[in-house]
Amino acid sequence: MFAYIIRRVLYAIPILIGVNLITFMLFFMLNSPDDMARAQLGAKQTTPAMITAWKAEKGYDKPLFYNEKALGIEKVTDTLFVQESLKLFAFDFGRSDANRDIGREIRERMGPSLSIALPTFLIALVTNISLALLLVLFRGSMLDLSMMVAAVMIMSVSGLFYIILGQVLFSKLWHWVPISGYAHGWEGVKFILLPVFIGVFAGLGSGVRWYRAIFLEQINQDYVRTARAKGLSEIRVLFTHVLRNGMLPILTGVVVIIPSLFMGSLIMESFFGIPGLGSYTIDAINAQDFAIVKAMVFLGSVLYIVGLILTDISYTLFDPRVTL
């Protein structure tokens, strides 16, 4: 197991290099260092002297991949790509073009992102599972049928509608919660109520269907029939057997999402004015701030890979048949 994790971590290195390389190529295909200088300086008159100074200051005066002027191995290493990538692997994200420390910025934005994503995730998990159990309990009844139809309907609506309607209904018409905004601590609860509610509701359809399918698969297994034959009440059966055995597919499906919670949600955060990580990448792409783009892509891939590894580990923990 330990060896396996080591192997996966080593395996992650070429992936990260690849991701970094592609990000580099894509970004510099879109923007040349001169463009970046112009965008950042933002002056009405940008003179060549200003551009040269900016590039020298930020280190963008080096060639991208191959430095003809350098000697020996430095031809490859004294380039923008190698210099910048090496810093990333040490998790030194550097400073953004707005002169802020990116690592610190990410840490600051992670909190607000998590304060939406985590409650949404947990409440959705509990709601979805309990509703799914309820449907399994009443399986085949009118309740089951109508709820399943409702679930498909919920799935068929674009998330944007929920946000727009939620804001109009709960904030504009009924004055229950602020339309947008964020605050730290208890003061902030009123701000996250609506986004969390909408997040949970929008995921209800697919969530309930998925869990229901998992539980239904369990309920036809022999051990459940045995348990029922022993005279256990239906609820006991559901909770002790079905839920417990359904945990494996649930966990493996859910674990992979957890790391990505840190990255926040772009749509939710920009509609509700949450100062989270969701819009950080796209804002940086639009502002041509390469330092942020590469840091965020790197962080995103690291979290993605962590998610994959966690999934594999959770397999072994919950299913003794699987060995790594």
Partner 1 sequence: MFLAVRSTFLLFFMVAILDASVWNSPYSETLRRQNVLFSSFSSPPKHLDPVLSYNANEWAILSQIYEPPLQYNYLKRPYVLEPLSLTDMPEVTYLDRLGKEVDRLSDKVSYSRYRLYLREDIRYAPHPAFARNSNGTLRYGKIDWKTLDSLETLNDLKERGSRRVTAEDYAYAIKRMAVRQYHSPILDTMIPYIVGLRAFSKQITAVAKDKREKKEVLDLRPYHIRGVKVIDRNTLEITIRGKYPQFLYWLAMNFFAPIPWEADLFYQQEGLQAKNISLDTTPVGTGAYYLAENNPNARMRLKRNPLFHTEYYPSLSLIEQQAAGISEALLADSGQPLPFIDEAVYSLEKESIPLWNKFLQGYYDASGISAEAFDQAVQIGSSGSMGLSEAMKQQGISLISAVQPSIFYMAFNMADPVVGGYSVAQRKLRQAISIAQDQEEYISIFLNGRGVAAQGPIPPGIFGHEEGKRGINPVVYDWVEGRRVRKSLAVAKRLLAEAGYPGGISAKTGKRLKLYYDTTATGPDDRALMDWRRKQFAKLGIELVIRATDYNRFQEKVRKGKVQLFSWGWNADYPDPENFLFLLYGGNAVIDTNGAGINSANYKNPEFDTLFREIRTMENTPERLAKIEKMLQIAREDAPWVWGFYPKSLVLVHSWFKNVSPNAMANNTLKYKRIDPRTRYVKQELWNRPAVLPLLIMIAAAVLGLLWLYRAYRKSEEAVISPAGKEGKS
Partner 2 sequence: MTLHLLLTDILVWVLVLLFVLLGWRMGRSVQIRRTWHRIFRSKVAMASAVILLFYILFALLDSVHFRVDNANEKNALREGEIVSLLDLGMLHRKHYSERTYSAPFALREYTKSTVVDEQGRARQRYLPLCYVKDGDYIRQSVLGAGLGLLIALGFILVHWVWRRKREEETVLPWLSAYITFALLFMLFGCMYVMSFSYHVLGTDKVGGDVLYASLKSIRTGVLIGTLTTLVTLPLAVVLGVSAGYFRGWVDDVIQYLYTTLSSIPGVLLIAAGVLTMQVVMDQYADWFASTLERSDLRLLFLIVILGVTSWTSLCRMVRAETLRIAKMDYVTAARAFGVGKMRIMLRHIVPNLMHIILISVALDFSGLVLAEAVLSYVGVGVDPTMYSWGNMINQARLEMAREPMVWWSLFASFIFMFILVLAANLFSDRVQHVLDPRNVS
Provide the binding-site residues for partner 1, judged by CB under 8 A. 30-32, 35, 38-39, 41-50, 53-54, 57, 95, 97-101, 104-105, 108-109, 112, 134, 137-138, 143, 167, 171-183, 186-187, 189-191, 231, 233-235, 270-273, 275, 279, 288
Nearest of 248, 26, 230, 219 to residue 132 by alpha carbon: 219
241's tokens: 């057997």
- Confirm or reject binding of residue 91 to partner 2 (CB under 8 A): no
* Residue span 9-48 as binding mask against partner 2, x where in contact by CB under 8 A, dash where not: -----xx--xx--xx--xx-xx------------------
239's tokens: 């909770």
Closer residue to partner 2 (CB): 128 or 218: 218
| H or E segment to which residue 269 belongs | helix 266-272
Question: According to CB under 8 A, which one of 56, 76, 86, 157 is a site residue for partner 2?
Answer: 157
Give 112-176 as a DSSP string: HHHHHHHHHHHHHHHHHHHHHHHHHHTTTSHHHHHHHHHHHHHHTS-HHHHHHHHIIIIIIIS--
Distances (CA, A) of 289 to 16, 238, 241: 20, 53, 53
Size of the site for partner 2 (CB under 8 A): 37
Q: What does 97 bind: partner 2, partner 1, none (CB cut-off 5 to 8 Å by kind)?
A: partner 1
Distances (CA, A) of 181 to 72, 177, 184, 292: 55, 10, 11, 24
Closer residue to partner 1 (CB): 178 or 307: 178
Query: Long-range CB contacts (< 8 A, 24+ apart) of 138-143?
Result: 139/216, 139/219
What residues between 272 and 311 interact with partner 2 by CB under 8 A? 281-282, 285-286, 293, 296-297, 300-301, 304-305, 308
Q: What does 235 bind: partner 2, partner 1, none (CB cut-off 5 to 8 Å by kind)?
A: partner 1
- Cα dihedral: 61, 80, 303, 191 (round 10): 0
| Contact set with partner 2 (CB under 8 A) | 14-15, 18-19, 22-23, 26-27, 29-30, 152-153, 155-161, 164, 168, 217, 220, 266-267, 281-282, 285-286, 293, 296-297, 300-301, 304-305, 308
